[in-house]
C-alpha cells in the first residue's frame, strides 16, 4: 500500500473533522488570524473556537469558510492516520474525553478498507 502522505485525502466535503474535534494551533499558525479559545486539555495552547453544538466556528453549511487560510492541522487532517494510529479502545477513550470525534476515526477506518479493495 502506498504511503498515506503521498495520497490525496478523499474528503469529498465530509467535514466530520470540523465537528467536535479540537483543532490546536501550531507554531506555524498566527493566532491573530483566527477566533480562538484556550485548549481545555493542553495548558497554554490555543484551539479554534467552537459553536455551542461543538462544530468549528468556521464551519458553514457549504463547508469551511476559511479553507484557503485554515490552520496547519486543518490543512493536513487525514482521518486515515487517526485510524492507523489508534485502536478502537484508545479512540473511544479519546472520544469520551473530548479529544476525538469517534465518527472521524470510523470514517478513517472506512477509507482504509476502501483503499485495500
CA distances from 53 to 18, 20, 95 (A): 11, 8, 15
Q: What is the pLDDT of residue 19?
A: 83
Number of other CB atoms surrounding residue 52 within 10 Å: 5
How do residues 33-77 score in pLDDT, each as one tens digit?
Answer: 999 999 887 888 899 999 998 899 999 988 899 988 999 988 888
Domain boundary assignment for the chain: 16-77, 78-117
Instruction: Provide CB contacts within 8 A for 36, sequence distance 6+.
Output: 25, 46, 47, 48, 49
C-alpha cell recorded at residue 74: 486543518
What mean pLDDT is predicted for residues 3-30? 76
Chain-wide mean pLDDT for the chain?
A: 86
What pLDDT is stored for residue 15 in this prediction? 86
Amino acid at each position: 500500500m502506498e504511503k498515506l502522505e503521498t495520497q490525496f485525502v478523499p474528503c469529498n466535503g465530509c467535514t466530520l473533522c470540523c465537528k467536535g474535534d479540537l483543532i490546536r494551533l501550531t507554531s506555524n499558525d498566527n493566532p491573530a488570524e483566527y477566533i480562538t479559545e484556550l485548549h481545555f486539555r493542553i495548558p497554554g495552547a490555543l484551539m479554534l473556537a467552537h459553536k455551542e453544538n461543538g462544530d468549528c466556528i468556521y464551519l458553514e453549511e457549504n463547508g469551511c469558510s476559511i479553507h484557503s487560510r485554515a490552520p496547519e492541522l486543518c490543512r493536513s487532517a487525514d482521518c486515515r492516520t487517526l485510524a492507523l494510529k489508534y485502536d478502537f479502545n484508545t479512540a473511544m477513550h479519546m472520544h469520551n474525553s473530548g479529544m476525538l470525534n469517534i465518527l472521524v476515526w470510523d470514517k478513517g477506518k472506512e477509507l482504509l478498507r476502501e483503499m485495500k479493495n
